[in-house]
Structure formats: C-alpha cells, structure tokens
A and B are shown apart, each in its own frame.
Chain A
C-alpha cells in the first residue's frame, strides 16, 4: 500500500456554501504533507472528511485503504488526530489523559503501561506525569496532545494547525519530533499558516475558496510557470531605507510586484531589468543597492497564486 490517502472529486456542501470543491489528491507513505490555505478555505472540512467525522456530499476516497464513507471505524483505529484547539481534559493529569486514550483505543491492559511510557519518551513529557493538563504551557499541551494521538501507534497523523499560538522554540521542537516519527514511517497530514513550516514539508497542497489549486513538492511549486511567468524574473535588492525604496520602485512600469523581506526587497520584473533597477534606484537617491537574481519562495508561490485566483474570481 503506497497511497495512504487517495481522494477523487471530494466535495462537501453546507447548505448553499461549498466548503470543499472537487478535491483530488494523493498522499504517500512517509510523506509530510503540508496543507495550506487562508482561513475558511476548507482545510478543516477536508481533514474532517478524511477522518470520518464528516460525510462528503459527493466524490470518494480512501484513507489507509479504507473507504472514507463506509469504513470510518476502521479508519479511526489507524489514524491519530490533533485538532486546532487544545482538546484534552484540563482537569485530568498528564498520565490520566494518556491512560484514558490508551483505554479508548482498546490497547490491552498488559501493554498499556509500556505504550504510555514509550510515547512519554517520544515527546519527552516525563517530568510532568502528575501535572494537570490544564496547567501545562502551550508547547507542552501540544506535546501531550501529540502523545495522546500517538498512543495507539497510528500510521497516519492529522495535525490541524498544531503550532498555532506556541512559541518559536516549542514550534521547532515539535517539528523535529514530527521528522523523527516520519523517519519511522508515520505519514503526516499537517495544516499550517507558517511558510517556514511549509518549507519543511515533503509535499504541499494549497486550497483556496474550497478548491485545491496546486499540489506537489515545494520545488515543483516554486518552478510553476504561474509563479514566475515567462519573460519575468525575481530579484532581491539590498538597499537602505527599504520601505521608501519600495514606494519608489512600485511606480516603475517594468515592476510587477514588490514586497519587503526583512532588510531587503523582493521584486518581480520584466526579464533583464537589473540595469533599470540600478538606474532608477540611483536617481531616487538610493545609492549602494545590491541586486541579485533569486528563485521564488513559497510565500511568492502562494501570494501569486492567490492574487491570480482572486482576479479570476473578480472577473467571473
């Protein structure tokens, strides 16, 4: 079994609103599949359908080889799920939460202790066994949630914005944990808004207004013709007073897009526009600019694709 997730024309409507519109895709074993899209674009609805929480209005699919409509209980035994909000019992201790999930998943009594200790090891929460879950900090809550979702050794994990609202260090640690697990063959389906997290995924999908616009590896996405159309080029410009430089350049006819990246500018221009850039920056009193050609970033990919779709929608 290579495809862990396989869906075809998956659609879900709520009344007149279509939350997920004919999504077809495939996720393979060992992938870390990053799923991106603005809020309300249908990410959570899709995950809920894949977990067997929601029935699709039309379309079909399998998860771990089981039909997502008819075999939801079999799916539930094989997957782990971590939702956006903290959904453990705040008034139970770390151990009590773990024991509860071990029991719910029907892990035989004689194996429970070992299983629980093994997930405690994996997420490193051993020091807090007796602490009430509600008293853990954000990062540790997520680790506990991960531990609870791992206790039955799922082959596929759904993580819905697992790092929303936790600090950068905890975020980094959590991702390292995911890489470890992926290395052991667990497949991950992760939604996120963070571009640096998207960069870490082996595969990405981007959903916008219920439609899956693109999916592929990060490099495939960056090389998409839509992102850097023929006859255009991307440059990074290091220049003092970036904000003022941006205003200056955005008026130029050959510049299609300018954004600030830290202390530099990223511009999308007609091909071979370096000399115009240098000339115009000089004229605008922005001396000493350094220009180099750069590939598209994932943010470029998603911003460009979103703008393009938004224009298409506006025209339609």
Chain B
C-alpha cells in the first residue's frame, strides 16, 4: 500500500494534469446522477414542456367576453342597435340591464361588471335630428388590460356608427378625410401566442438550466461531497466544467422539446434560420449555466439557491420585455432590464422566429450575451474557491 505514486503525471498530457484535471471523471459522474434519478430527468425534460403548455394557453392578452352592464335610458331602436353593436363585436357580454348609475358602479365594485354602458334619454332623438350625441362608458380601470381593450373597442364602435350615419346623410359617398391603413407585417393575425411563446421559451430555458446547475452544485455542498472533492487534486476548471457541460447538454434537449411544442402545438412557425437560432441558443445556454454556477457560490443549501435565483428570475420575467414593452419603462428600470441576459435572447428569438431576422441584425445581441456569459462565468469561477475559505 505505501511507496505511493504521484508520478502518474508522466502518463497523462500536461493539459490534463493541470487546468482540466478531473474533467472527464466529473462529467461522467454527473451524467450518471442525471440518468439515474428519474425525478431529475422528469424535471428536466417534462417540466419545461408542461410550463410552456400551461403558460402558453394562459397568457392571452386578447381580452374577450368583457362583462357589461347596460343602463338604457332611451330604450328605442337606435339605442338597441348600439347595444347590438357592442354584443356583435365579440368583445362584450351583456350580463345585466339595470336602471341607475349606482347599480353599474356597485356591480363594478363587486367585480360583476368590467364596464357599464349608459345610453342617455335623448340618444335616438338627437341622432334623428342630426344633433351631436354621446353614450357613456364606465370602465373598471383596476385591470388595465381589460380597460384598454374596452376603451379601444368602444371608440371603434362609436367611430363606425358615426361614419355610417355620415354616409347616409351625405348620400353614400362620405369618407373620412384621413384614414390609417394598417398592414401588420409579421404575425398578421396579431396572435398573442406568437408574441409570447418565443419569449416564454427563453424564460423557461434560462430558469430550468440555471436552477438545475445551481442545485447540482449546492447539493454537493449539502451532502459534504464537495468538501471531499476539494481534498482531491481535481482542478477548479475541471470541476466546474465537468458539472456544467452535462447540464448544457440537457439544456439543448430542452430547447429542442420547447421549440417542437411551439411549432406544432401552438402553431408558431420558425420563419428564420434554424442554424442561426441554434447558434444563439448555445451562447445563451452558456450564460444561463454561468448564472447557475454564480448562484451556487452564494447559496449554502438548495432553498437558498432557489431564493437567490429569484433575484434573476423576477427581472427576467418582468423587465426583459417578455410581457411589458421595455420602451415604456423608466430609464432606471429599463437599464436593469438590459442587464438581464434573457432580454437579448428574447429579442433574438422573436427576431428569428417571427421576422426572419438575419445574423447581420442580431450579431450585436449575440456579442452582448457572450460577453455577459464570460463575465458571469469568470466571476463565478473566481468565487468558487477550491478551499473553504
């Protein structure tokens, strides 16, 4: 047993005995962990798909069936035609007809109504005599998405009515002097899914890859195996890369499953180059793995890892432009959003998937992502000491 041995070095290349010592062993071991535990595999591959499916259906900003209370003081044909216009637009459901303003307000407070439509007593009269008239829309502003939709649609209804009336009075040839003729270039049906799902894919990929990596390292802290590794001659880079690379491969599989779901379940076709998309995704995965490693250097246990991850996940969801457009954010908030890697990846995803944007327009995003990845990984590697402190 004695007469030990350290001169195995002669057998191995200098590269191995130095910077990457132990890489292959760690990678092999890590892959064993992944493949052995069905729970982990399940978490890795099914959860992203399930999240995409659930969120993909849930996040829909096209608000339909807005509950509406009607207070019709007029009651004649013209007013009934107006109510029908609301009904037929498909955006409103007339839930109740009431007899006072107070009832509408009360219904909005209760949450039974999102809007109230109030038609004044002389509505039909004034229309017939060609006078100016108005109906009132009371909108519950506490849900801004619904409020915005209600406002837009009721304006459009009023406009349509006005144009219709003008053309009858002026004899068929009435036209508005200025008219906008929008043509939506990409995503012509303006489906929320097309807009949301590529972003969602980015968010989910980042979250899962980051959490898995952080957990994998922190778990070794918890069980004491990391300490055991630290007394071996394994190199820092060998240890770190050996842990990251297997999860990078998992990330690639996740990307594929998420993209497949997006194309086939949600019918969001990929307009641009698949090769380009793959290239940028690899850069992004590298950054997400780095984030996971960084989180693991702060956390002592898996609960902490989860808590720290939320510092990254929260701005990723709220400030990256995934849901709320960055243009409308105050400068400070927008800058925070721009410090989050997924912000750039979402722009890349939307560009390639929806608009067929090419490399020449996206390379800057790629450079920023790669830079962030390098920064995060360097920081994490420096923090990841091979001793206890």
Contacts and interface: CB of A to CB of B under 8 A. Distances in A.
B388 A100 contact: no
B8 A153 contact: no
B24 interface: yes
Interface in A73-128: 73-74, 76-79, 81, 83, 85-92, 96, 100-101, 103-108, 122
Contacts of A101: 232
Interface stretch (B14-22, B141-149, B165-173, B273-281): B14-22
B24 A103 contact: yes
Interface of B: 1-6, 8-9, 11-12, 16-17, 21-22, 24-26, 28-29, 32-33, 36-37, 223-225, 227-234, 387-389
Contacts of A52: 231, 387
Contact of B387 (A54, A92, A185): A54
A216 interface: no
B32 A108 contact: no
A10 to B, nearest CB: 16
Contacts of B21: 106
B223 A152 contact: no
Given A89-B33, A92-B32, 17 more contacts: A52-B387, A72-B387, A83-B224, A87-B224, A87-B225, A87-B227, A89-B225, A91-B32, A92-B33, A100-B29, A103-B22, A104-B232, A106-B16, A106-B17, A108-B12, A184-B2, A186-B2
B1 A153 contact: yes
Highest count of chain B CB atoms <10 Å: which of A48, A104, A108, A186:
A104
A108 B25 CA distance: 12
Q: Which 8 A-B pairs have the closest CB atoms?
A: A103-B25, A185-B2, A87-B224, A81-B231, A108-B11, A87-B228, A184-B1, A153-B4
Nearest to B6: A77
A294 interface: no
B389 to A, nearest CB: 6
A59 interface: no
B26 A78 contact: no
Contacts of A76: 231-233
A55 B24 CA distance: 28
B4 A53 contact: no
Contact of B8 (A89, A90, A108): A108
B225 A53 contact: no
Contacts of A78: 4, 6
Contact of B29 (A72, A83, A87, A89): A89
Given A52-B231, A53-B387, A104 B25 contact: yes
Contacts of A181: 1
22 contacts: A52-B231, A52-B387, A53-B387, A53-B388, A54-B389, A74-B6, A76-B233, A78-B6, A81-B231, A85-B223, A87-B227, A89-B29, A91-B36, A100-B25, A103-B25, A105-B232, A105-B233, A106-B17, A108-B8, A153-B2, A153-B5, A185-B1
Nearest to A91: B36
B21 to A, nearest CB: 6
Contacts of A138: none
A247 B33 CA distance: 59
Contacts of B8: 106-108
Contacts of B227: 53, 83, 87
